Amino acid sequence: MKNVGFIGLGIMGKPMAKNLLKAGCKLVVYDINADPVRELVAAGAKEGKSSQDVASQSEVVITMLPNSPEVKDAVLGEKSVIQGAKPGTILIDMSSISPIASKEISEKLKQKGILMLDAPVSGGEPKAIEGTLAIMVGGPHETFENVKDILGAMGSSVNLVGEIGSGNITKLANQIIVALNIAAMGEAMVLATKAGVDPEKVYRAIQGGLAGSTVLDAKMPMVLDGNFKPGFRIELHIKDLMNAIDTANELGSPAILTGRVLEMFQALKAEGKGRNDHSGLVQYFEKMANVEVRKKK
């Protein structure tokens, strides 16, 4: 395994970095929050003092940050990756950001001889912990092959889908489908509850049919328990859908349903629920119908 730097140790980044340690990577880590850094150092990683310091010690640098501005700052700003990386270093940005931003960052890195892949993930915190994320990669085939083993330590499905930016296009498509699935689930289960039918029984009845899905199986049990502890926060899904709409507008592609679900998420955020899991979207429909979709006691 290569010397790997990891920048961004949040809900997703911390378990991903731990899986790289388990796979035998020599890991240097950095985050603005000291607590996860200490935890990774205790597990065997080395502490980096800045993004620049991490890059100076690494053949491959991974970033896992909230959005485009944070990635640009860590990669192109002061004490950043571009200032510490040697020519031939590979940056894998695993954040979910605008594909336009991915291309801009890649072009600036290319001028310094630094290679880049955009490789956002799907699966949330549980799959990050398990090391079974779906990883969608954009960039040169040769670069991808060079780091496929590193990505495989964090994900069970690792696919190159096209040139730089394609990973984030794929992630936006994923996030649209997930959001619309959750909205459909919430609307349907509120209907069942309002009609006096046990929503858990409805879920079990449709689980194996055409309406069954990974989203349904992951999120419906949380709704039934009233458990909206985040695996993936509403405020982060808002960010992804805004990136999706911006990209759709840039390309002249319709985003009608995406826009409607975005409004629902934003309404919940305005009520102070932005840090709820995105399964909490059901609360939008519950409020309108004055019912709660919960297990029968």
Which are the catalytic amino acids? 171
Q: Give the integer Cα–Cα distance in Å for 246 and 267.
A: 19
Q: Would strands 26-30 and 3-7 be described as parallel, antiparallel, or unpaired?
A: parallel
Question: Angle at Cα 144 formed by Cα 134 and Cα 7, nearest 5°?
Answer: 70
Residue 195 φ then ψ, to 5°: -80, -5
DSSP 132-188: -EEEEEES-HHHHHHHHHHHHTTEEEEEEEESTTHHHHHHHHHHHHHHHHHHHHHHH
